[in-house]
């Protein structure tokens, strides 16, 4: 039964936030995690995902760099991406969307908001 569940990659340098997202989505989705952009890029090369939840500000390779890489890669360009960030000015949101994000989720976020956004994007792509 696990094979049929959509796969999500949760990328954030804060372990508690990754855990919250994975616990929230774990019943309906198979969730993998990455604590930085370099690990995220490696996971994206190894496996196919139906959605990526991506923090912007991380040490090393930023979420924006990961997103740009995804949008330039033929295999990854159509994978939906939700950018998660505590930075939420109109310019921050516009920057994430211009880089190729499908949605912007401001931290802190409500659990129901997370669930409905993920279900809508995975349903759209699948």
21: exposed, middle or buried (C-beta count within 10 Å: 0-12, 13-18, 19+)?
Answer: buried
pLDDT in tens, 11-42: 999 999 999 999 999 899 999 999 999 999 99
* Reported pTM: 0.91
**Please, are residues 33 and 10 in contact by the beta-carbon 8 Å criterion?**
yes
**Tokens coding 39:** 């690990």
Q: Would you state the pLDDT for residue 87? A: 84
- By CB atoms closer than 10 A (0-12, 13-18, 19+), residue 8 is buried
Please give the angle made by the CA atoms of 97, 101 and 104, to the nearest 5 degrees: 75
Collapsing DSSP to helix, strand or coil, 28 comes out as coil
Query: Is 62 a residue whose pLDDT tops 90?
Result: yes
Mean pLDDT for the chain overall:
92
Question: What residues does each domain of the chain span?
Answer: 2-125
Regarding the domain delimited by 2-125, which CATH topology (the fold level of the hierarchy) does it fall under? Rossmann fold (3.40.50)
Tokens (6 digits) for 37? 């952009």
- Residues 9/32, Cβ–Cβ less than 8 Å: yes
Q: How far apart are CA 76 and CA 1, in angstroms?
A: 25
22 burial (CB, 10 Å; 0-12 / 13-18 / 19+) is middle
């Amino acid at each position: 039964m696990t094979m049929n569940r959509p796969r999500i990659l949760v990328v954030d340098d804060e372990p508690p936030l990754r855990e919250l997202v994975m616990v929230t989505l774990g019943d309906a989705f198979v969730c993998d995690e990455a604590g930085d952009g370099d690990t995220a890029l490696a996971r994206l090369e190894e496996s196919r995902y139906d959605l990526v939840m991506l923090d912007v500000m991380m040490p090393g390779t930023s979420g924006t760099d990961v997103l740009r890489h995804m949008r330039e890669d033929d295999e990854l360009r159509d994978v939906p991406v939700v950018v998660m960030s505590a930075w939420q000015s109109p310019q921050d949101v516009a920057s994430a969307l211009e880089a190729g994000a499908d949605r912007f989720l401001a931290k802190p976020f409500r659990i129901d908001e997370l669930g409905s956004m993920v279900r809508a994007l995975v349903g759209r792509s699948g």
